[in-house]
Structure 1
Amino acid sequence: MLSLRPGRKLFGTAGRRFEVTKLFSEKATLQGSTDAIYITNVDGRRNNSPILLGLIDYLERTSASNVGFFQPVAESPYPHSTTGLPRHVELLHEALKLRREPKDMSAMTAQEAIKLLAVGNWNELLDRVITSYQDYKRGHDLVILEGITTGGAGLVNTMELNARIASSIGTPVMMALDARNDSTAESLVNSALIARQGLIRNQAKVMGIILNKLPHGDPAGLEADIRAGLKDVGLPVFGALPMDPLLSSVRLDEIKAVLGATLAYGPQNAALDSAASEVIVATGTVNELLSQLAACRGPCLVVTSQDRTDVLLAVAAMRLLGSPLPISGMLLTSAGSPRPEAAEAALRACYGGLEGSNHLPLPILSVDMPAYDALQAMSRASAAILPSSHAKIEHAKLLFERHVDAEALATELAAPQDQRLTPKMFMHQIMQQCLEKPQNIVLPEGMDKRVLAAAAEIAAKKLAKITILGKPDQISTEARRLGLDLSSCSIIDHTASPDLEKYVDALVEARKHKGLKPDQARDALGDPNTFGVMMVQTGDSDGMVSGAAHTTAATIRPALQVLRGPESPLVSSVFLMCLPHKVLVYGDCAVNVSPAADQLAQIAVTSADTARAFGLEPRVAMLSYSTGTSGSGPEVERVAEAVKIAKGMRPDLMLEGPIQYDAAVDPTIAAAKIKAPSDVAGQANVCIFPDLNTGNNTYKAVQQSTGAIAMGPIMQGFVKPVNDLSRGCTINDIINTVACTSMQSLGVKGER
């Protein structure tokens, strides 16, 4: 805050420097390492500027050639900003010459985020953040993300918001924690641990903490005590910035910004980047002004009204005489100035002749408000680092390098990491593939309002080209009643299609081994599911999604008849289980009741291929009620035999079994139950259940207990994709299944 009292002495910042090493690849990829870090001030304050400036500067100089900066939720601009950009976006883009346009460095405004959260629309908020972030991330070695502050989000729970964003993106969090003048090591340790728990509770991964604004006195001792307090609980302290007089001083450019003042006279840049730790209000005589200046112990700002030409002349005289009095600038207010144009003329007369001299006058600011109002506004001014604060910017970089172990932080970022594919990122990747190469998907259930709503949304988002089967006039009437736009969708009356005879011939050919006659084929094609399957079989559509109004048998039977090939000995299914912090593949949970060992092996191999088609590196666990050789019985032996067959079919797969579910997915339990080295135990992402009873109940139990999104069943074993919906499906279920069907189609075509 701006003070009317004398300024404090400069704090000595003796510290250490670190060796500069190239830790990241010269190219714009960080294989196996962390390519982003999420910095959030866990107090919700806006004091991250020194950390951001120092970290990005250090990384660009030593580790990564192209570092980016991104705010998921944009903070407010600087007061009276001429750009309207979020303050740290403007600062870092200007000070560090970041390459991308500032408009690309945030996903949404705080007001937009609040509106979404007010109605509980977390999904749209996170989807928008991920989409904007992924677009920005391209071409950067590393991206520094900054969390939202309470100053930007009103009543929003910023801890939860930042944690959920970081968790969804899959980036670790670096906590920043500001100390106060009365902070103790114990209070800061407790604050850090409480904040970490809040982040972990919302699935965020915490990398460590950087402390900021450690109070004067013994900051090194305070830092040592904090490190000791956090060491035993495994929270690394990467550094502690002390309270710094230069960074905490209010400077002329900040006063200009907070008042919305104009530079009436003087140099544009350098002179405004100077401190004003005290204010003198020149309402009396010049002699009184001289006395006040003599009492100043720091650089001061002289405030007077625009008509006080005597004060202007006095200051000019002091400058000409080289007076040591500490004047950093002047502020002219409107109070008592009936003719401001006369004051401007006097200003030019007083100072115009000094241009080019060695005694160039100090900057003179002008504001159109009374002195009292100006002083009130100035008293509320907080120290900040503006894009024009060149001295502060350079000092912040130096302070960071002295007091933060940046090399340790960069080493941690560059270390190999388990690449978590979060459900949100998983869904984003699927949707991006759909957007880049939209497939033609047929929906046979044209009179189901959920199907129509999903079709309208898919078409609007351009996720796929949709064909709807049914009576066009009836579907159009229903769409209007529901307020849906289906203008981008094709609507085909399958009972009167000009392609009917083509499909009759194709169906007869496909079923000739069964002796199917044309009349029988024509009758069969009256069923919309059969018609849709024949569109897929002939290449007129890339895939089919049905089941909202049909049984699984009615949906799948036509596909079983014409879409099974010699390399598809068994049709099975998987669910993509989008858990809060990871994605698992469950199979078979919908088709095969009690598969024999060879069938179970086929399900495992096919499920692994499906997982890979969706961007997952498969680690297959073949589940049983017993792990390894700890149990016996026909069911365990069946799974053990299936494991042998599967490994013989695909020796390249990471596959383990028999294994219990907990040992398959939990590293701690796996370590206790399985002593031999394993690439699967504790980190399986493809879970093969021994029978339908176990699989179906497990997926539903997990879905209901955890709130996981269960995408499926996704059918496996067809030469072209056909997928079944639950009759209780939602609009989102249909959209997700269409997206998955599109991914399968791309896989069939080899276009992924």
Structure 2
Amino acid sequence: MTRSVYVTGIDRGDGRQVVELGVMELLTRQVDRVGVFRPLVHDGPDRLFELLRARYRLAQDPATVYGMGYEEASALQAEQGTDELVSVLVDRFHRVARDYDVVLVLGTDFADTQLPDELSLNARLANEFGASVIPVVGGRRQSAQSVLAETRNAYRAYDGLGCDVLAMVTNRVAREMRDEIAGHLADRLPVPCWVVPDEPALSAPTVAQIAQVLDGKVLLGDDAGLARDVLDFVFGGAMLPNLLKALTPGCMVITPGDRADLVVGSLAAHSAGTPPIAGVLLTLNEEPGEEILTLAARLAPGTPVISVTGNSFPTAERLFSLEGKLNAATPRKAETALGLFERYVDTADLSKRVSAPSTDRVTPMMFEHKLLEQARSDKRRVVLPEGTEERVLHAAEVLLRRGVCDLTLLGPQDAIRKKAADLGIDLGDSLLIDPATSELRDAFAEKYAQLRAHKGVTVELAYDVVSDVNYFGTLMVQEGLADGMVSGSVHSTAATIRPAFEIIKTKPEASIVSSVFFMCLADKVLVYGDCAVNPDPDAEQLADIAVQSATTAAQFGVEPRIAMLSYSTGTSGSGADVDKVREATELVRLRRPDLMIEGPIQYDAAVEPSVAATKLPGSQVAGQATVLIFPDLNTGNNTYKAVQRSAGAIAVGPVLQGLRKPVNDLSRGALVQDIVNTVAITAIQAQAQSPAR
């Protein structure tokens, strides 16, 4: 029977979308086929489903997601009774359930539904669906006593109606009351109750949402600027010095359109990062002259300036009633929501309680989820030398919002802050260090000179070398000021990894540094090595690459079954290239008799069971290899790119192995998610190389 989880509430305004998104995240970590069902829906777009569909690449037909509209449900209930309404919705639920391993059910929203006793309807639907229930209680603007009473009453209500209550979530409580409420609830309910504080950034509208609601005209601003959260409103009517004192981070400045001084002054403050603002809203349908707009665009590129027709007072009334929503157009809010959920909900416990049916399939999304979860379990600090690169900053925001690791960004501090402000990115408590002016530069120069004295490097020469961001970042790792480093989005592979060869060096048991790619296919993850570092390894080096790759595979949850690839299988071929692979295979067997390995073997025999049955019957590896070792860089690099493009695989890497401490290289075409994954991998490597902290 298909497992289903029903997220519901007791009243409107509980912010349960955070919980629905968090539960979806957990379910997609466990199984590949997750369906969504919303029994009742309002007219208009379903923002949450569109977010789930975009974020989790759902292939589900939207027409199957919804049971029926509220108006239709109300009429059916009035005419034929609740039993008929429930019968129709149960039938439509099972049409979805038969196609999926698990279904997430999104309960009714208690907002203008015209349904009597909505809580009982949700409870009955959950029971008829065979779904376990997670009730969500909203605590915004309530006292601690009120929140405690409502939470207990909600549990009793759903439990009393026969529901299988998995857990309770009390959401949007005042941050200062969160620990008190959690402590009181800890032993007072028979199921866990997780208490999540209110997060202003989630209820804050974006600049784009404000422009849409007010029918504003965007005079300046790019997509990144329009996606900024508006955390506060500051009304400009005073002289500029007084306005500047009133500015707060993430605020929107609202001023008559003829106050050019306030427009320019606000944007100048943003450019200086004191503080970064969300944008400027001009009232009275007044627009600054062309010369002012040109100056504004130069001062704060990308920062929105919007013009509306009304005056400041009615505009303010509409703004203060506006609340931001999670949807597909606000991916940064989704990251904030997931970070909040994962911080305050025991996701390991909830995963066990949900207990979706297990599967041997490992999809790319499941692999990526596991990376972030594993990195988050023991947070490490990763240094990013390319601190002013836009993709790196976007990745840093995702990593920080999800609580994956701590970060240090290198580069001119003012330039990093300005770039982050222009992109609307909050770097939180990340460390910003400029190698050129850092107090660490002298000590690093002495250290580097010592390490390279045999090459004639003096302290004076070293002083110049360590101002390079990659050398500086590598020395931070070497000296324990960071646990790992990721670079390469704008630097060459040589510029990224040469400092590691010179400073960190190889592990005692490793003869060379090599690399692997995690190739995320539709239903499994394979490990390819070496596709990025060693052009033509000899037999000894090839054996080292195989052992290192098996260790890396196991570290990331891939059971190592090693295929030593060649153009022949078994004893069918001969020649120097095949002999090299055969010798390397024997060396691995001698060094690590515990590893399952086959070689020489052709690619098709390594991964396709039907071919393996013919060419190498009875082999433990043939047909089910997970670690594929290529005989040279030419073969490996071309193969991984061919599989990536032809099979639509996601290639995560290259992941360097054999170094004493983790340093990883990015492709210069790396996407934001590639950077996020590589940083997570680096943090996990750091966990393995030093004790838990």
Summarize deviations over 1:488-523 as a string: whole Å, max 9, x none.
321111011111122122222322333432112112
- Paired with 2:650 and 2:35, the residues of 1 have a C-alpha distance of 29
Structure 2 equivalent of residue 570 of structure 1:
512
Is contact 2:335-2:402 (8 Å) kept?
Answer: no
Structure 2 equivalent of residue 80 of structure 1:
116
1:314-463 mapped onto 2 (5 Å cutoff): 419-463=360-404
Q: 1:663 aligns with which of 599, 605, 610?
A: 605
- Shift in alpha-carbon separation, 1:686–1:451, aligned structure 2, 3 A: same
Structure 1 equivalent of residue 683 of structure 2:
742
- Paired with 1:636 and 1:679, the residues of 2 have a C-alpha distance of 21
Q: 2:500 aligns with which of 556, 559, 584?
A: 559
1:487-526 mapped onto 2 (5 Å cutoff): 487-526=428-467
- Paired with 1:493 and 1:39, the residues of 2 have a C-alpha distance of 48
- Shift in alpha-carbon separation, 1:142–1:601, aligned structure 2, 3 A: same
Structure 1 equivalent of residue 421 of structure 2:
480
- Paired with 2:491 and 2:32, the residues of 1 have a C-alpha distance of 46
- Shift in alpha-carbon separation, 1:659–1:447, aligned structure 2, 3 A: same
Is contact 2:32-2:362 (8 Å) kept?
Answer: no
Is 1:641 aligned with 2:592? Answer: no
Structure 1 equivalent of residue 665 of structure 2:
724
Summarize deviations over 1:307-362 as a string: whole Å, max 9, x none.
xxxxxxxxxxxxxxxxxxxxxxxxxxxxxxxxxxxxxxxxxxxxxxxxxxxxxxxx
Structure 2 equivalent of residue 353 of structure 1:
none
1:112-131 mapped onto 2 (5 Å cutoff): none
- Shift in alpha-carbon separation, 1:144–1:71, aligned structure 2, 3 A: farther
Is contact 1:573-1:588 (8 Å) kept?
Answer: yes
Task: Mark the runs of 5 or more structure 1 residues left unpaired by the alignment.
Answer: 1-33, 54-68, 106-113, 146-169, 173-418
Summarize deviations over 1:676-695 as a string: whole Å, max 9, x none.
x2221121111111111111
Read off the aligned partner of 2:412 and give its amino acid letter. K
- Paired with 2:584 and 2:623, the residues of 1 have a C-alpha distance of 20
Q: Which moved more, 1:604-613 or 1:706-715?
A: 706-715
Read off the aligned partner of 2:116 and give its amino acid letter. H
Structure 2 equivalent of residue 89 of structure 1:
126
Structure 2 equivalent of residue 713 of structure 1:
654
- Paired with 1:473 and 1:718, the residues of 2 have a C-alpha distance of 33
Query: How far 1:429 sits from its partner (Å)?
Result: 1.9
Is contact 1:70-1:144 (8 Å) kept?
Answer: no
Summarize deviations over 1:228-261 as a string: whole Å, max 9, x none.
xxxxxxxxxxxxxxxxxxxxxxxxxxxxxxxxxx
Is contact 2:489-2:667 (8 Å) kept?
Answer: yes
- Paired with 1:609 and 1:524, the residues of 2 have a C-alpha distance of 34
Task: Mark the runs of 5 or more structure 2 residues left unpaired by the alignment.
Answer: 1-29, 38-59, 68-85, 95-100, 134-158, 170-191, 194-324
Structure 2 equivalent of residue 627 of structure 1:
569
- Paired with 1:748 and 1:450, the residues of 2 have a C-alpha distance of 28
Read off the aligned partner of 1:452 and give its amino acid letter. L
Q: Secondary structure at the match of 2:164?
A: coil
Summarize deviations over 1:88-119 as a string: whole Å, max 9, x none.
436655466535226699xxxxxxxx996799
- Paired with 1:552 and 1:738, the residues of 2 have a C-alpha distance of 16
Larger radius of gyration: 1
The number of residues matched between the two structures is: 427
Q: Which moved more, 1:564-573 or 1:77-86?
A: 77-86
Q: Normalising to structure 2: TM-score of the pair?
A: 0.55
- Paired with 1:464 and 1:486, the residues of 2 have a C-alpha distance of 12
Structure 2 equivalent of residue 183 of structure 1:
none
Is 1:594 aligned with 2:536? Answer: yes
Read off the aligned partner of 2:639 and give its amino acid letter. T
- Shift in alpha-carbon separation, 1:36–1:422, aligned structure 2, 3 A: closer
RMSD of Structure 2 on Structure 1 (CA): 4.1
Is contact 2:554-2:560 (8 Å) kept?
Answer: yes
Summarize deviations over 1:27-69 as a string: whole Å, max 9, x none.
xxxxxxx99998999998887979999xxxxxxxxxxxxxxx9
- Paired with 2:589 and 2:663, the residues of 1 have a C-alpha distance of 28
- Paired with 2:394 and 2:663, the residues of 1 have a C-alpha distance of 20
Structure 2 equivalent of residue 608 of structure 1:
550
1:36-435 mapped onto 2 (5 Å cutoff): 71-74=103-106, 76=108, 80-83=116-119, 85=122, 88-89=125-126, 94=159, 98-101=164-167, 138=349, 143=354, 171=358, 419-435=360-376
Is 1:702 aligned with 2:643? Answer: yes
Q: 2:474 aligns with which of 533, 536, 546?
A: 533
Structure 2 equivalent of residue 64 of structure 1:
none
- Paired with 2:483 and 2:537, the residues of 1 have a C-alpha distance of 29
Query: How far 1:131 sits from its partner (Å)?
Result: 7.6
- Paired with 2:331 and 2:408, the residues of 1 have a C-alpha distance of 33
Among the aligned pairs, what percent are the same residue? 45
Read off the aligned partner of 2:472 and give its amino acid letter. F
- Shift in alpha-carbon separation, 1:88–1:743, aligned structure 2, 3 A: farther
Structure 2 equivalent of residue 471 of structure 1:
412
- Paired with 1:664 and 1:558, the residues of 2 have a C-alpha distance of 36
Is contact 1:131-1:428 (8 Å) kept?
Answer: no
Q: Which moved more, 1:737-746 or 1:475-484?
A: 475-484
Q: Secondary structure at the match of 2:687?
A: helix
Structure 2 equivalent of residue 403 of structure 1:
none
Query: How far 1:86 sits from its partner (Å)?
Result: 6.7
Q: 1:684 aligns with which of 609, 622, 625?
A: 625
Summarize deviations over 1:426-479 as a string: whole Å, max 9, x none.
222211122222211111112222122222222222211111111111221222
Q: Secondary structure at the match of 1:441?
A: strand
Q: Secondary structure at the match of 1:700?
A: helix
Read off the aligned partner of 2:349 and give its amino acid letter. R
Is contact 1:76-1:86 (8 Å) kept?
Answer: no
Structure 1 equivalent of residue 523 of structure 2:
581
